[in-house]
Amino acid sequence: MLVVVANTINIGADIGAMAAAAGLLMPLPLTVLTLLFTVAILVLEISRAIGYIQEC
């Protein structure tokens, strides 16, 4: 259980860092960039999982 908590915190920090880095290039609020990265990652993960399931 502790590994799940640690990984969740680590993923949140990584997404926040990606948003902060993108904020240097694009003048958007950090919250918007964080949500954009989160949605993009979820879409990619889910679409890849669906493709894998359809292959089986």
Per residue in 24-42, pLDDT (tens digit) is 999 999 999 999 999 999 9
pLDDT tier at 55, thresholds 50, 70, 90: confident
Residue 36: both structure tokens together: 């954009």
Among 9-13, 18-22, 49-53, the minimum mean pLDDT is found in 49-53
Domain boundaries, the chain: 2-55
CA 15, 9, 45, 31 dihedral sign is negative
User: What number is the average pLDDT over the span 13-31?
Assistant: 97
Q: Tokens for 41?
A: 């990652």
* Tokens (6 digits) for 51: 């493709």
pLDDT of residue 21: 97
Reported pTM: 0.82
